[in-house]
Amino acid sequence: MARRHHHDSFHHQDSDLDRFRFRIGVAVALVLITFTLLFARFFWLQVIQHDYYTTRAEGNRISLVPIVPSRGTIVDRNGAVMARNYSAFTLEVTPAKVPDLEASIDALSQLIEIQAKDRKRFKKLMDESKNFESIPLRTRLTDKEVAIIAAHRYRFPGIEVKARLFRQYPQGELASHALGYIGRINDRDIETIRKAEAEANYKGTDHFGKSGLEQKYEFHLHGQTGYEEVEVDAAGRAVRSLARTPPIPGNNLTLTIDTKLQAIVEQAFGERRGALVAIEPSSGGVLALVSTPTFDPNLFVDGIRSDDWEMLNTDPDRPMINRAIYSAYPPGSTFKPYMALAALELGKRTAQQVMADPGYFNFGGHTFMDDKKGGHGPVDMYKSIVQSCNTYYYALANDLGIDNIARFMAPLGFGSRSGIDIEGESEGVLPSQEWKKRRFKRREQQKWYAGETISVGIGQGYNAYTPLQLAQAMAAIANDGVMFRPHLVKHITDSRNGEKTQIEPEPIRTLPLKQQNIDTIKRAMVGVIKEGTGARAFAGAEYEAGGKTGTAQVYSLKGSTYNREKVKSELRDHSIFIAFAPADKPTIALAVLVENGGFGAQSAAPIARMALDYYLLGKKPAGAAVEDSAAGDENE
Amino acid sequence: MMPFAQLRHRLWHGLVDHIDVPLMIVAVVLMGIGLASVYSATYDSNNRFFAQAMNMGVALAVMWSVAQIPPQKLMRFAIPLYIAGVILLILVMLFGVTVNGSRRWLSVGFTRIQPSELMKIAMPLLLAWYFHKYETMIRMRHFALAAVLLAVPFLLIAKQPDLGTALLVGASGFYVIFLAGLPWKIMFGLIAIGSAAAPFAWTLLHDYQRRRILTLFDPTSDPLGAGYHIIQSTIAIGSGGPFGKGWLSGTQTHLEFIPEKHTDFIFAVFSEEWGLAGNLFLLFTYLFLVGRGLMIAANAPTLFSRLLAGAITLIFFTYAFVNMGMVSGILPVVGVPLPFVSYGGTALLTLFVGMGILMSIQTHRMLVKK
């Protein structure tokens, strides 16, 4: 046998060749066997089963036409509609079937109105899609237009009128960063569909969630595609319908968002850039997710016009950025309550301990100044929060050290994604020695300097968090350390049986904090509203709230994506405010940030006041044009 | 001045000296079948007949050029081609263009290339060279290293994911190792291990790949999705009957029931229109191609040329078997074209490079003997 040769390197050429030829012989046998197998298969199909397959081929005048299900609707917590569908006739063109596209469109424009923008959008869609797809040329045809086209249909092969469902966002720009939008399916979406094993279900579908909830809950909203068995004639045209498997509509989303609260806040922002996130502490449900400026998601549905797209993308205020979850800002003094809590928990301070504030803090030959000239005098923890005393926190940060700070803050959600149910969240920056090592390449930059810890203590320095993270931490304290994952969808309603699936009803963790310490911090934050930096904004409030002002310096930007040129022209600080209310049993916790809004008490706190006034008392700000349609109790 | 007759004589010889006539006849026959089928599949919408004719012209020119290179010179390309192939595959992994969920293409300015195609030639070339180098002292470790050299591109391609091409590249390398004398004991051992590991490999497959295998057993389970291809192509073949419906008369084809009808599923078009008779003719043509190739391998003068010719020929066979098998519903659907028949420039080019190498091995052998 041939195998002997492997153990014997002194063999002959001839026996080598013989062995090779033997192996060739084996290969020939393999080829003959497999080809015989193929022949047997052909014989089976083409002779024995021939009649059966002939019948099937003749019966194969049946083609399966997918029926796209209607997409699930999205409503707010009170049932106000945020996304729905409407049916409309569209004029669609299949470019591959049209001999002379330009001439046909010109001829069509003699019959019905086809504007330049329609042609432009059609061109754009054509570039993005495959040749044999049918592409809308005109949407929302009137009955008269449908009749005209029908009468002239014989003149236009490859052009037809179809009834289609269109997505509509009746509240326009409201909450667009949470809702997101749908657009035509592209290559990346196809990959997503393939990964989800949903190719068959997307036959015939040509829209896909591109951002926000529309994207995250795409497979819930889409529904189950049905199909119609259609008999076709020899030319492949549909003759009659034989059977129909109806589609199953997509599931409906009920959000935790309160659109009226959302609207009041968006109006309060006006032209200003910024974000607000309000969370129900006892569930993690997001009551409002505001990022201004906003955009109109309706623009994207039929394929966005290039000039609209251009405008959204070149706007210096960058409306497409979701500031609430993507942009990270230094928290400023809103960081102080957490620093104080860390001091209590780690035993570095007691609430009663008093330090003398001379108005500055010296460290390593560098002087860190307090805001108040001459200092706040004797300061205990309560006063340090109420009056926002910097010196107290310079010393505290130095005593704690950066890694203790980082270890304490991380479980509150600082510096990591919250896991909210929309894409595009950023991590922010929770600085630590290890973080700096990862962040910087050069060795000399990797070293952490004790002086850097001191500015971290007052929420400046490398610190940077998203408004969502600020709100999440506030909610955690308000709820006495029991943390929920922030989420926008309250429940998903199955379209078939009305069954509701609750989203995130369980807490993700309970922070091991002493209740006494939490109460100390909460009391101090109530003090801020009553007699401290937030007192003016909350003058005359009919409820007890806790809060903290903050100011984020814009002198340097870490981990942020702003355009440097622009920052230089607008060096005003960002105004921040965090709050919870009512103080004894909080039903809402929030964080507001107004870009270049100056001091926290100046721009952010009044917006927080309006939000709380509405949410707790149903009070609308003077001059607010918020429609009062949806019934129901907001504080359920 | 050279007399005209002499010039003509020289030109003629320059043109045909390195052409193997039997192989050329097979190529012409298969190209004819290919053109007729591509025409039938595409004439009523987007006609690809002329594009395919152009592809064939280019591929023939390349084949002719390759046939001029003596096998000894081919050996020199073994390492550089293999290394270039692996580097390109890594580049694909990093910067490749994703088409239909697979990252197979590399964008090079004006066009896109598919490096996995190159590997179909580079792989057997390298292994043939390698075994040739250690001809008189092939031991177990040589087989082991050969297996590693084979595994690298195989895994890179399988990861794209392109299971069809990965299997072809894997097979091309395996054929060399097999022909170089991999002991039977090991081969059966590997088969045993392979079948034992199959359930594990199953978990590594992509969902769509698993679905393709499952739908083989029950195509009706997914009538809108993967099963549709198999159902429609078996109907096309079966309804073709003993003698077919006649050229351009396949209803399955012309009512657009066959997907990818001018590329991977072109056999369904051919089979519907030419019936069992046509299939038999096609099978015999391939059999003749494989027979001629293996004959060239058996008579080649060096181990390098024997192994290379053998592996290339068996790859032709594998293409043909896997494609006809999947279209007729006995193998899962993987992206393998019907050799020399399916529409597509890249695949055709690779096939004709292989053809050119076979011709080179055969014709230079005769020159050596002279």
Please give the Cα distance from A382 to A521 (Å, whole number): 8
Across the range A214-235, mean pLDDT stands at 82
Task: Name beta bridge partners: A227.
Answer: A66, A245
Assign A357 to helix, strand or coil. strand
Query: Which residues in chain A are contacts of B283 at CB distance < 8 A?
Result: 35, 38-39
The DSSP result for A280-299, as a single string, is: -TTT-BEEEEEEES---THH
Contact A61 B279 (CB under 8 A): no
**Is the pLDDT assigned to residue A619 strictly greater than 70?**
yes
Across the range A300-328, mean pLDDT stands at 87
Assign A179 to helix, strand or coil. helix
Which one has a higher pLDDT value, B370 or B279? B279
Q: Which residue has the tokens 């102080």?
A: A336
B211 contacts chain A (CB < 8 A): yes
**Is the pLDDT assigned to residue A522 strictly greater than 70?**
yes
Contact A50 B239 (CB under 8 A): yes
Query: Which residues in chain A are contacts of B235 at CB distance < 8 A?
Result: 53, 56-57, 60
Residues 212-241 of A with CB under 8 A from B: 225, 227, 232, 234, 236
Q: Tell me the residue type at B22.
A: P
Please give the Cα distance from B138 to B268 (Å, whole number): 44
Range picked from A156-165, A548-557, B349-358 for highest mean pLDDT? B349-358
Is the peptide bond between A170 and the residue preceding it cis, with omega within 30 degrees of 0?
A: no
Contact A60 B211 (CB under 8 A): no
* CA B21 centroid distance within chain: 21
Contact B211 A197 (CB under 8 A): yes
Q: Which of A100, A88, A108, A98 is nearest to A132 (CA)?
A: A98
Half-sphere exposure of B344 (CA within 13 A, CB side): 23
Q: What b/e sequence results for B13-38 when a residue is b if at least 16 CB atoms lie within 10 Å of its CB, and e otherwise?
A: eeeeebbbeebbebbebbbebbbbbb
Across the range A625-630, mean pLDDT stands at 42
Please give the Cα distance from B230 to B217 (Å, whole number): 10
**Is the pLDDT assigned to residue A110 strictly greater than 90?**
no
Q: Tell me the residue type at B70.
A: P
Assign A85 to helix, strand or coil. strand
Q: Which of A364-373, B48-57, B323-332 has the lowest mean pLDDT?
A: A364-373
Q: Which residue has the tokens 């195998």?
A: A3
CA angle A304/A309/A311 to nearest 5° reads 140
Backbone angles phi, psi at A350, to 5 degrees: -105, 165
A333 given a catalytic annotation: yes
Strands A81-93, A135-138: pairing is antiparallel
Please give the Cα distance from A450 to A598 (Å, whole number): 29
Start-to-end CA distance of chain B, whole Å, equals: 29
Which one has a higher pLDDT value, A623 or A445? A445
Query: Which residues in chain A are contacts of B223 at CB distance < 8 A?
Result: 64
Q: Which of A419, A500, A488, A466 is nearest to A179 (CA)?
A: A488
* Segment A532-546, tens digit of pLDDT: 999 999 998 899 999
* Segment B300-342, tens digit of pLDDT: 999 999 999 999 999 999 999 999 999 998 888 888 899 999 9
CA angle A19/A22/A27 to nearest 5° reads 130
Contact B321 A38 (CB under 8 A): yes
Across the range A59-88, mean pLDDT stands at 86
DSSP A48: I
Across the range A382-408, mean pLDDT stands at 93
Give the closest of A31, A200, A203 to B290, CB-based.
A31
Contact A27 B240 (CB under 8 A): no
* Segment B175-198, tens digit of pLDDT: 999 999 888 888 888 888 888 887
* Segment A257-298, tens digit of pLDDT: 999 999 999 999 998 999 999 999 999 999 999 999 999 999
pLDDT at res. B100 = 57
Contact B100 A24 (CB under 8 A): no
Task: Give the global pTM.
Answer: 0.62
Helix (H) or strand (E) holding B203: helix B184-204
Mean pLDDT in chain A? 85
Please give the Cα distance from B335 to B158 (Å, whole number): 12
Q: Tell me the residue type at A246.
A: P
Please give the Cα distance from A63 to A61 (Å, whole number): 6
Report domain extents, chain B.
21-68+215-304+323-370, 76-204
CB-based contact A612:A585 (threshold 8 Å): no
Please give the Cα distance from A179 to A209 (Å, whole number): 10
A35 contacts chain B (CB < 8 A): yes
B32 contacts chain A (CB < 8 A): no
Contact A20 B179 (CB under 8 A): yes
Best probe of the B interface among A20, A49, A58, by most B CBs < 10 A, is A20
Query: Which residues in chain A are contacts of B243 at CB distance < 8 A?
Result: none
Please give the Cα distance from A224 to A41 (Å, whole number): 36
Give the confidence band of A13 by pLDDT, cuts at 50, 70, 90: low
pLDDT at res. A60 = 65
Contact B139 A6 (CB under 8 A): yes
Contact B306 A191 (CB under 8 A): no
**A-B contacts (CB, under 8 Å):** 164
Please give the Cα distance from A362 to A395 (Å, whole number): 9
Q: Which of A164-168, A385-389, B27-31 has the lowest mean pLDDT?
A: A164-168
Q: Give just the sign of the alpha carbon dihedral A627, A628, A629, A631.
A: positive
pLDDT at res. B273 = 93
Distances (CA, A) of B356 to A9, A415, B53, B289, B336: 33, 62, 18, 13, 21
**What residue of A is the nearest CA neighbor of B140?**
A6
Contact B238 A50 (CB under 8 A): yes
The 10 Å Cβ neighbour count of residue A127 is 7
Residues 48-77 of A with CB under 8 A from B: 49-50, 52-54, 56-58, 60-61, 63-64, 66
In this structure, the dihedral spanned by the alpha carbons of residues B146, B149, B150 and B151, taken in order and rounded to 10 degrees, is: 120
Give the confidence band of A552 by pLDDT, cuts at 50, 70, 90: confident
The maximal CA–CA distance of chain A, rounded, in angstroms, is: 107
pLDDT at res. A11 = 47
* Segment B21-47, tens digit of pLDDT: 999 999 999 999 999 999 998 876 677
**What residue of A is the nearest CA neighbor of B235?**
A53
Q: Which residue has the tokens 């490079």?
A: B353
Best probe of the B interface among A19, A24, A130, by most B CBs < 10 A, is A24
CB-based contact A273:A595 (threshold 8 Å): yes
Domains annotated for chain A, with CATH where assigned, are 67-255 (3.90.1310.10), 259-617 (3.40.710.10)
Burial class of residue A423 (count of CB atoms within 10 Å of its CB; 0-12, 13-18, 19+)? middle
Give the whole-number percent of chain B exceeding pLDDT 70. 89
**Is the pLDDT assigned to residue A3 strictly greater than 50?**
no
Q: Give just the sign of the alpha carbon dihedral A252, A257, A262, A264.
A: positive
Residues 71-90 of B with CB under 8 A from A: none
DSSP B222: -
Q: Which of A9-23, A71-85, A380-394, A535-549 has the lowest mean pLDDT?
A: A9-23
Contact B283 A5 (CB under 8 A): no
Inter-helix orientation angle B140-158/B163-179, to 10° = 170
Q: Which of A70, A176, A333, A384 is catalytic?
A: A333
Structure tokens at B189: 């051992």
Across the range A399-425, mean pLDDT stands at 93
**What residue of B is the nearest CA neighbor of A187?**
B100
* Segment B84-131, tens digit of pLDDT: 999 989 988 887 776 655 667 776 655 667 888 889 999 999 999 999
CB-based contact B332:B212 (threshold 8 Å): yes
The DSSP result for A456-471, as a single string, is: HTTT-TT-BB-HHHHH
Q: Which of A481, A208, A431, A202 is nearest to A331 (CA)?
A: A431
pLDDT at res. A626 = 45
pLDDT at res. B217 = 66
Half-sphere exposure of B188 (CA within 13 A, CB side): 4
Size (chain A), residues: 636
B160 contacts chain A (CB < 8 A): no
Please give the Cα distance from A341 to A477 (Å, whole number): 10
Give the closest of A27, A32, A54 to B239, CB-based.
A54
Bin B105: left if φ > 0, else alpha if -120 < ψ < 50, else beta: beta
**Is the pLDDT assigned to residue A562 strictly greater than 70?**
no
Helix (H) or strand (E) holding A46: none
Please give the Cα distance from A536 to A602 (Å, whole number): 9
Radius of gyration of chain B (CA): 21
Structure tokens at A426: 């950023």
**Is the pLDDT assigned to residue A628 strictly greater than 50?**
no
pLDDT at res. A228 = 81
B299 contacts chain A (CB < 8 A): no
